[in-house]
Chain A
């Protein structure tokens, strides 16, 4: 955090290379978030690039009231939600049959049977994730995949901690419900 502030100060003094250092530091986290939000690698790449371009242009408005990474995550979540809104209509009219999301959760292989069951569960989870609304998907990714605290998530999404708690609970309940339905459909 101290290093981020030092880099931000350098950037505002005219050292644009300082932004490059920030980009390298956070590129994996932002790209990971975009991949799990959007699934498609090309869209995720474009969205992640857009996040950093927006951050570069918006740095003059960044205030020290929040940390740089919570501000960056906020841009990333909003960018991914915009992409989802933009491309949900496209995929409605031009379905690609893209099953990229099924590759998001590879499983370890302790034994063939366990590996199969595990992969089935993970595929069901990946499908269930895509059925969540954008807001619930974002919050579960920030919690489960990025490991952020409730307070950090509340700062990123600009909501109360109570709202974070209730949305995470709701997201997990919905995921469990979708996964159970998916399992029942496969049995039939």
Chain B
């Protein structure tokens, strides 16, 4: 085992996370490598310092304070609604969608293309134009323009 590979074994070895085969290989390397042995000792010392760290405990009344806080809050969540309320929400949603579709359909019918086309065609028909009366200004104008030709 080379030192570059052995370096990956320091932490798992200290933490007891290596299998027997890996331990044997790693220890065989340590037996012949002073640098890795020294490195392992330094990490081991660090590990030992943590063992002396203070273990903090929650202050008195901590869990009582937790329960006061949770009891004063409204319980969130879908799970606490009455069973039927779940379907009421879905029903309202579907009604809104259906109303939207129906009103959209009515608007579409009001401006449907075949009706529009009928209206346009009827607006272009000459039948909509009445003939000019004999005494009208329009008839006089036409007579003048025809004489001019």
Interface residues, chain A, with chain B CB atoms under 8 Å away: 16, 19-20, 23-24, 27-28, 30-32, 35-36, 44-45, 48-49, 52-53, 56-57, 60, 104-108, 118, 121-122, 125, 143-145, 149-150, 165, 168-169, 172, 175-176, 179
Whether A172 contacts B46 in the complex (CB less than 8 A), given A104-B54, A150-B15, comes out as yes
Asked if B62 contacts A57 (CB within 8 A), the reply is no
Q: Which residues of A are found within 8 Å of B34, using beta-carbon distances?
A: none
Closest to A128 in B: B46
Whether A172 contacts B53 in the complex (CB less than 8 A), given A24-B63, A149-B17, A165-B11, comes out as no
Q: Which residues of A are found within 8 Å of B63, using beta-carbon distances?
A: 20, 23-24, 27, 52
Asked if A143 contacts B56 (CB within 8 A), the reply is no
Complex: how many Å from CA A45 to CA B59? 8
Q: Which residues of B are found within 8 Å of A143, using beta-carbon distances?
A: 15
Asked if A31 contacts B58 (CB within 8 A), the reply is yes
Interface residues, chain B, with chain A CB atoms under 8 Å away: 7-8, 10-12, 15, 17, 42-43, 46-47, 49-50, 52-59, 62-63, 65-67, 69-71, 73, 75-79
For residue A151, give the distance in angstroms from its CB to the closest CB of chain B.
9
Asked if B69 contacts A168 (CB within 8 A), the reply is no
Asked if A53 contacts B46 (CB within 8 A), the reply is no
Chain B contact surface mostly:
helix
Asked if A165 contacts B12 (CB within 8 A), the reply is yes
| Selected A-B contacts with CB under 8 Å, 14 pairs | A20-B67, A27-B66, A31-B57, A35-B56, A48-B62, A52-B70, A53-B66, A57-B75, A106-B52, A145-B53, A145-B55, A149-B17, A150-B12, A176-B43
Known: A53-B69, A60-B79. 5 other contacts (CB 8 A): A23-B63, A32-B56, A121-B49, A165-B8, A169-B8
Find B70's partner among A56, A60, A145, A168 (CB 8 Å cutoff): A56
A-B interface, 8 closest residue pairs, ranked by CB to CB distance from nearest: A144-B50, A31-B58, A27-B58, A23-B63, A35-B56, A56-B70, A52-B66, A32-B56
